[in-house]
A and B are shown apart, each in its own frame.
Chain A
């Protein structure tokens, strides 16, 4: 029997996107769509939040899908099946409010499709008509297409470069849906901040309620540090305990995007150094 936090399955979904199935019976049992975990992979490591892409309480497994964007995610991707994640805590954040509202359009951009999947599934199970829009820069970066197709009443795929599906940003099909005589009753958008910002701007004139899920800088994830704070409707809110989901029409995305760059220089340097370290390690292994 594996010990908790063991990576029981590792799959590379694209050049820089990985899927881990991790043994964590406690988190698997308690987690609900919309929630996230925080992990730390070494004593000196940073604590980073990652959304939960799926879970199986019977097997005690949670699925994490992540893109290697900085030092910690690169080091995480270096872990192999059978290895354990040093510290894993969760589920954190408030679960998605799931109810039957009619037609729900779920919009996922890039890696944001991962946390969107359990939410879309729950919305479908609650009896909603489910339309899913997934988008990425190119075909290679489209993830969970088959999984989404299996649950959606309609699936729209778009790529920035037109290498697959529609050549468009996700906001184009979203706008079309809003223009329909029967506009969606709810939109849920998860992806890069700039995408969520423009999804919210797209739905605003049509007054389609729009939920976004924010991923900000965070340390404890339980409301203690306040690093994750965002301005929503003029009020300070903590993503970790008040969110991560908020009314997209009220979020101050510009401020949030500035705050995400707080440690830009440090992160850039650490990222570069980490690539060098990984390269040196690979060459050392190749020599022996």
Chain B
């Protein structure tokens, strides 16, 4: 999709009532105004700049308001999508954000990071009619538009909190699942304490997702909202170490606990040379840049590896984030190595598109065989193998099959491994009664309840590596169950 300069003076907004479906389909998809790739390669500021009100209304008018609303089925939290889009078309942004917030707590975040093209926008009738999913209504951009409108106009009022019940809930972690639980449980009048291991709150939205994709001030606004509701936040607090889960329930008087501690233990390839200097997990690389602000060479004390040529292994959003961060930190060549093709790549289409514009060099159907080091134990290259696609595997994607004897070497000084995470072991280690599966993820029922009385869990610690919206959806479910549990518990 071409990103073009937007000129508001050339636009007239038609009257929604006079538009026939044919007219709606004729409105061109509104491009997202973005920072120029050559400029943004050198800064950390947000890439996508957001729709103007005129663009938002035009895009909203593309929605056919179809009765079947397949988009709603595609949304993990079933937002009334045609409803909020109609409100935008009618310039009633307040109503629009109100509709979204009935189901979603973090629209400014989800509008930016949700994989819309595989969720709400995938079954969109407009995209189907125009035979191109990229021409579906840009639901995510519209969600972002109204969420930003609300925040920028100082209208994000904290939800009302019911009379204090005297019950206490501990929320472990402060990522999207935990933020949702904290808000929904606090709303019912229960006291809520968030325990965060890091010195800053926000979880993956702060240490993982870069500023250029999700500005930290947006996450901070959500945290400030929780504080204004009276949610207590304790940073530098590691459950399983500073206190154990059972301490919270038996000694500290918490009536229920939600575990939203997220993914842990980065996976490595288990190949030769992974212990060399210059090999990093994407978690480490991104945490140095995002949480510790190592990109700010002047101010931050935390160092980040001075890379010239970088290979990123993986094809998800985290791989894109790592590759694009490396570009911004001054790497001359950044390769993204993925063993399937672009079609199978799990990253959001927009991120792949942005990464290409920024000069990331994609190597599809290739994978690392071993990492080569010099005499000082530092990375000097990566040996790869070429692959072809074979029969589909259990995920339905065609299995990559190695082409024998296809080894070749790329000169790099840095390798970033972005192939996912295993679960964090701390709570499991210190709460042996808690049931986990063979990957160490916490086992929960359909209400997100764990094997322990009063203990609920959600987000990546349950799902493995998932998305913000799925974590939030689980948070909603868990909060509902916790509220019911507490009202039945005298």
- Chain A contacts to B: CB under 8 angstroms: 26-27, 30, 40, 42, 44-47, 71-72, 86-92, 219-227, 229, 231, 236, 238, 241, 252, 254-255, 258-259, 261-263, 265-267, 270
Contact = CB atoms under 8 A, between A and B. Distances in A.
Given A225-B287, A262-B305, A46 B241 contact: no
A87 B197 CA distance: 11
B426 A241 contact: yes
Given A87-B199, A89-B242, A270-B301, A224 B424 contact: yes
A30 B424 contact: no
5 contacts: A222-B197, A226-B283, A236-B268, A259-B275, A267-B303
Given A27-B242, A92-B238, A241-B426, A226 B281 contact: yes
B90 to A, nearest CB: 44
A44 B284 contact: no
Contacts of A27: 242
Interface residues of B, number: 46
Contact of A225 (B241, B277, B278, B283): B283
Contacts of B283: 224-226
B266 interface: yes
Contact of A44 (B270, B301, B425): B301
A224 B264 contact: yes
Contacts of B424: 222-224
A224 B197 CA distance: 11
Nearest to A219: B287
Contact of A241 (B276, B303, B425): B425
Interface in B253-305: 263-266, 268, 270, 274-278, 280-281, 283-284, 287-288, 291-293, 296, 299-303, 305
B403 to A, nearest CB: 28
B265 A224 contact: yes
Contacts of B364: none
Contacts of A47: 199, 292, 302
A268 to B, nearest CB: 11
Given A220-B197, A255-B377, A89 B281 contact: no
B301 A258 contact: no
B238 A231 contact: no
A224 B266 contact: yes
A90 B241 contact: yes
Contacts of A229: 275
Give the dominant DSSP class at A's interface: mixed
Contact of A219 (B264, B265, B292): B292
B235 interface: yes
Contacts of A220: 197-198, 207, 287
A258 B377 contact: yes
A268 B237 CA distance: 32
Nearest to A91: B241
A261 B284 contact: no
A247 to B, nearest CB: 17
B284 A222 contact: no
A225 B377 contact: no
B376 interface: yes
- Interface pairs A-B: 9 shortest CB-CB: A258-B377, A89-B236, A266-B303, A225-B284, A226-B281, A87-B199, A263-B303, A46-B301, A226-B266
A71 B301 CA distance: 8
Given A222-B197, A226-B268, A44 B300 contact: yes
A207 to B, nearest CB: 27
Given A46-B301, A71-B301, A266-B303, A222 B238 contact: yes
B397 interface: no
Contacts of B235: 87
B42 interface: no
B242 to A, nearest CB: 5
B265 A227 contact: no
A92 B263 CA distance: 18
A223 B306 CA distance: 24
A113 to B, nearest CB: 24
A166 B319 CA distance: 55
Nearest to A89: B236
Contacts of A258: 276-277, 376-378
Nearest to A218: B284
Contacts of A236: 268, 270, 274-275
A227 B236 contact: no
Interface string B225-240: 0000000000111100
Contact of A238 (B207, B265, B288, B300): B265
B302 A231 contact: no
B243 interface: yes
